[in-house]
Structure 1
Amino acid sequence: MARAQAVAVEVAAPLAAKIDEGRWPEEAIRALQAEGMGGLTAPATSGGSGLGLRALVEVCEVLGRACASTAITYGMHAVGTAVIAAKATPTQSVSLLEPISAGRHLTTLALSEPGTGSQFWLPQTRLRREDATYVLDGTKSFVTNGSRADSYVMSTVAAEPDAPAGQFSCVVVPDPSDGLVWADQWHGLGMRGNSSRGARLEGVRVPVANLLGAEGDQIWYVFEVVAPYFLMAMSGTYLGIAHASLLEARDHLLRRQHTHTGRSLAGEPVVQHRLGELWARVERTRRLAFWAAEEAETGGPDALPGLASAKAEVADCAVGVANEVMTLMGGIAYRDRAPVERHLRDARAAHVMSPTTDTLRTWTGRALLGMPLLGS
């Protein structure tokens, strides 16, 4: 964690305002790789750290305090690495996981599509087999690290023409690849530095060896690997935003004095009360996220509702705390490009990044009722 903290403080934080202008956080990502953190979720047998959900949520929180775009950019690399590692073949370990662990390869997810919206587990991208090659045709949207990564974990329909409806596959697509065409960077309200882009796949060919697991394994990957790691990466990132907002408020209250009385804002009981409420909200949400990560790592009975609720609660916390901090700090926080203004814009993405908060609340309820998550 000390290495992540050093990169956050020395590299990510000084560049946060520049990254918010739409610049991809290359310096911080390369610094993390240089510090040996590219393989955080890669197995030790491939040179990685072999760490899991708890480490990921902690690292992303540390980075998120400094720069949310940096945190989500790194987080999606770690999620993609975990997906590759879950059923990696010896060939994939050598060609992908070892370079990832050595800091020479950046990966990410490419699951979302324009036609299926937040239901990223239902891809429409087509996959067909021609001898020893898979051919992909389709469109992906909101790809974090789009055009910046060395490979993309992509979801597709199953390749076999007689495969049952609803079977999907995962393959790794290297970049560059002939037929992989990137759209311009998407300009959002916040999270402006994560190079979120759409991509067209026009007859992209990859070796059959790039299939992850077996054909039709995509749903297993989504709910056994993608969802847990994705939810923890996002939870950590948005916890970082909430914590950074809280610190902005505390520091402002300690600095600010009324010139006509000489009295510090920190001496006002009402702001003491409100700051205390915000601290408690951040801390109890952090405890939920850390517990959920541990519950999932140990296969605990409440892993599913814990993971789903963690990201939903973190989303509420990040938006709520950033909003309240802006009120506590007044006009100085409302100005354009102020840190709290950036935190509030970045935090707002937490509710809409799939799985959305509404979806996660529904999944939690269905899990508690013993119902399948994707049932009608």
Structure 2
Amino acid sequence: MIPRTLFEHEHDEFRQTVRRFLAERCEPFHAQWEQEHQVPRDIWLCAGELGMLTISTPEAYGGLGLDRRFSMIVTEEIARACVSGLAGFGVHDICAGYLLNFGTELQKQRWLPPMASGECIAAIAMTEPDTGSDLQAITTRARLEGDHSVLNGAKTFISNGTHCDLIVVVAKTGNSGKGSQDISLILVEGGSPGLSRSKPLRKIGMNAQDTTMLFFEEVRVPRENVLGGLPGQGFYQLMKELAWERLGIAIGSIAGCQAVLESTLDYTRGRSVFGKPIIEFQNSRFKLAELKAEIAIGQSFVDRCMELLLQQQLSAQASAAAKMWCSELYSRVVDACLQLHGGNGYMLEYPVARHYLDHRVNRIFGGANDIMRELIARTL
């Protein structure tokens, strides 16, 4: 298929470093992390030492100051290795983006260096028990009392919820009735009085990913912890970062597709039925050929979206299309490849079974795919 031209020599070297870290420090222990429903904090510190956490953060704030292609590599390799417990790295990186692009100088200096090193783990609290993709309908509210904002509400599906030291909370801070103008992002420390966390949420997949509910009861936050210093900017800040978040989901999805295809090719070459390898049956070859072509098309689109992102030209509609199409392709690839494994496809010792459990949420988080269709439809 078409060779990828997006990366340069230093990107390839970094990919080998990431791949080695995952193979040695993560893959052998991932099953244990699934039982514990979290990744140990020392893995975050190791990733921080390798520069994997907030790669595009400038060196002045503790990062490497590198382009988003390095972040893309981390996402691709995590998906390839199917170590879904590390999906929280992407959430952490998104939080760093909010701080870097919208934070005050004091907020950047306080939070970005420990986030780069892995000493501070970040989470974003958007979704509520009764509110999903419609962020303007949230009920979590922060009222002003002197020099503090007092926060009350509940959030759910919080990646990094157990370990988080910093929480970017989406909250109502105004009463104008104009929806988006009443929303702010508030930086809450993980040890704040009045903040409590649920036990890890039980999920059908991504069981090593630390996911909890967060509860805010009269949590007092210094007024200067409103992201950027001015209330009412939260919806705009969220929308500006969503293009990267959704492209990240597309990147992980297409890398997962490729990993599943490669493992299935190996399986069908080595497994025989009626005296010949599965791949020698025309039905198997044609199905695998179709998948290979679709993955190549998806990869080309994702790489082009990354080029546009680097040029600061990636539109919300393009990132929505990439997220929708690639995440749905991931489902088709996993389903077809599991079928080619027969009964073994249902066994967790085979990569396709782990992808089967972990991939499905890609069509939901970052905005459900029907919301992506609505965003695309607005351009018709």
Scaled by the length of structure 2, the TM-score of the pair is: 0.88
Matches within 5 A, 1:229-248: 229-248=244-263
What's the offset of the Cα at 1:51? 4.1
What's the offset of the Cα at 1:165? 4.6
- Of 311, 336, 339 in structure 1, the residue corresponding to residue 351 of structure 2 is 339
Are 2:368 and 1:323 equivalent residues in the alignment?
Answer: no
What's the offset of the Cα at 1:232? 2.5
- Work out the CA distance in 2 between the residues paired with 1:68 and 1:312: 22
CA deviation string 1:35-92 (max 9, x = no partner)? 1222213223212123454443332121111135234211111111111111222211
Matches within 5 A, 1:216-227: 216-225=232-241, 227=242
- Work out the CA distance in 1 between the residues paired with 2:106 and 2:134: 31
Scaled by the length of structure 1, the TM-score of the pair is: 0.89
Are 2:39 and 1:25 equivalent residues in the alignment?
Answer: yes
Q: Secondary structure at the match of 1:146?
A: coil
Give the match for residue 5 of structure 2.
Answer: none
Give the match for residue 4 of structure 2.
Answer: none
CA, structure 1 residues 31+194, in 2 after alignment: closer, same or farther (shift >3 Å)?
A: same
Q: Secondary structure at the match of 1:330?
A: helix
Pick which of 353-362 and 284-293 moved more: 284-293
Pick which of 246-255 and 38-47 moved more: 38-47
Give the match for residue 184 of structure 1.
Answer: 199
What's the offset of the Cα at 1:187? 0.9
- Work out the CA distance in 2 between the residues paired with 1:147 and 1:254: 43
What's the offset of the Cα at 1:17? 2.9
Pick which of 78-87 and 66-75 moved more: 66-75
- Of 35, 49, 53 in structure 2, the residue corresponding to residue 38 of structure 1 is 53
Question: Residue type matched to 2:162 in 1?
Answer: S
- Work out the CA distance in 1 between the residues paired with 2:306 and 2:102: 21
- Work out the CA distance in 1 between the residues paired with 2:188 and 2:317: 32
Matches within 5 A, 1:97-136: 97-120=112-135, 122-136=137-151
CA, structure 1 residues 18+238, in 2 after alignment: closer, same or farther (shift >3 Å)?
A: farther
Q: Secondary structure at the match of 1:212?
A: coil
User: Matched residues, percent identical?
Assistant: 24
Give the match for residue 374 of structure 1.
Answer: none
- Work out the CA distance in 1 between the residues paired with 2:212 and 2:105: 31
Q: Secondary structure at the match of 2:359?
A: helix
Contact 1:82 1:229 in 2 (8 A): no
Structure 2 gap segments, 5+ residues each: 1-13
CA, structure 1 residues 352+60, in 2 after alignment: closer, same or farther (shift >3 Å)?
A: same
Q: Secondary structure at the match of 1:79?
A: helix
- Work out the CA distance in 2 between the residues paired with 1:231 and 1:37: 19
Are 2:29 and 1:15 equivalent residues in the alignment?
Answer: yes
What's the offset of the Cα at 1:150? 1.3
Task: Number of aligned residue pairs: give it.
Answer: 363
Alpha-carbon RMSD: 2.2
Are 2:281 and 1:268 equivalent residues in the alignment?
Answer: yes
Q: Secondary structure at the match of 1:134?
A: strand
Contact 2:82 2:351 in 1 (8 A): no
